[in-house]
């Protein structure tokens, strides 16, 4: 399973990248706006900075238009910023047409705002490279987000669809583990959820004991000298 970070924050992307486990980045208009990025030129510069930082990993950049022509024009401009840009397109009727157009014209896509297996089938049929089910938001509505990932994984494998399942709207480390368990191809996570995977009290207790005993060992070595 690939690890993407779900943020437009350069410091957080760098921290995840420095861990050596980062495969890519996803952004959305809310995440970009949160970083104070305003205007077409600043948006393009920011995507370029992210692409250069993750070097080689896919970077999802979302279209803001909601009509077919607007999405295509915007997607072409986004894709021209860097070869690793993946154009993120919403799951709407025009979005499906845009996915097909991008797929026919060699532009990689990520179909976003997916909340059902039916939508995931449409995204795959339209040639999306990634499909993004929002599992946290599904859980927030008291449905089961991980179950949807499992259902899509089952359908895609049965039908031979090549679209990669990118589990999005991840809220915690358990979401990541569960997504890995049911066959997500990618998890896009906030930095906190990634770092949360590190945590176990027995690791901390065990390390404290090893450090303590190592000090004794060093003291014994000094006594021998
Ligand atoms: O990029 C889409 C996504 O991951 C949204 O997450 O936490 O806003 O539901 P969230």
**Does the structure show a pLDDT above 80 at 108?**
yes
**Tens digit of each residue's pLDDT (9 = 90 or more) over 71-107:** 999 999 999 999 999 999 999 999 999 999 999 999 9
Q: Is 101 in the pocket of ligand 1 (CB under 6 A)?
A: no
87: CB partners within 8 A, 6+ apart: 60, 61, 62, 63, 74, 75, 78, 79, 102, 107, 108, 109, 110
pLDDT at position 93 is 98
Q: What is the whole-number distance in angstroms between the Cα of residue 215 and the centre of ligand 1?
A: 46
The reported pTM is 0.95
Instruction: Confirm if 189 and 4 have CB atoms less than 8 A apart.
Output: yes
Q: What is the whole-number distance in angstroms between the Cα of residue 134 and the centre of ligand 1?
A: 7
Q: Is 134 in the pocket of ligand 1 (CB under 6 A)?
A: yes
Protein residue closest via CA to atom 10 of ligand 1: 169
> Is 100 among the catalytic positions?
no
**Tens digit of each residue's pLDDT (9 = 90 or more) over 27-63:** 999 999 999 999 999 999 999 999 999 989 999 999 9
Which one of 2, 34, 76, 88 is the catalytic residue?
Answer: 88
Burial (CB < 10 A; 0-12, 13-18, 19+), residue 222, is exposed
């Amino acid at each position: 399973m690939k690890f993407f970070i779900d943020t437009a924050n350069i410091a957080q992307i760098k921290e995840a990248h420095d861990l050596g486990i980062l495969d890519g980045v996803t952004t959305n208009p809310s995440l970009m706006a949160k970083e104070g990025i305003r205007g077409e030129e600043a948006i393009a510069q920011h995507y370029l900075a992210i692409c250069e930082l993750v070097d080689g990993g896919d970077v999802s950049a979302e279209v803001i238009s909601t009509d077919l022509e607007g999405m295509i024009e915007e997607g072409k401009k986004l894709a021209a910023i860097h070869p690793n840009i993946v154009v993120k397109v919403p799951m709407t009727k025009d979005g499906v047409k845009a996915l097909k157009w991008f797929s026919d014209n060699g532009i990689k896509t990520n179909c976003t705002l997916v909340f059902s297996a039916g939508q995931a089938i449409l995204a795959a049929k339209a040639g999306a490279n990634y499909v993004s089910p929002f599992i946290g938001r599904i859980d927030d509505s008291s449905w089961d987000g991980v179950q949807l990932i499992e259902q899509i994984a089952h359908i895609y494998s049965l039908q031979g669809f090549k679209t990669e399942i990118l589990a999005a709207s991840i809220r915690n480390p358990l979401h990541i583990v569960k997504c890995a368990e049911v066959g997500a191809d990618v998890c896009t996570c906030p930095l906190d959820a990634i770092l949360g995977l590190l945590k176990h009290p027995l690791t901390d207790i065990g390390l404290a004991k090893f450090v303590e005993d190592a000090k004794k060992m060093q003291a014994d070595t000094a006594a021998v000298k």
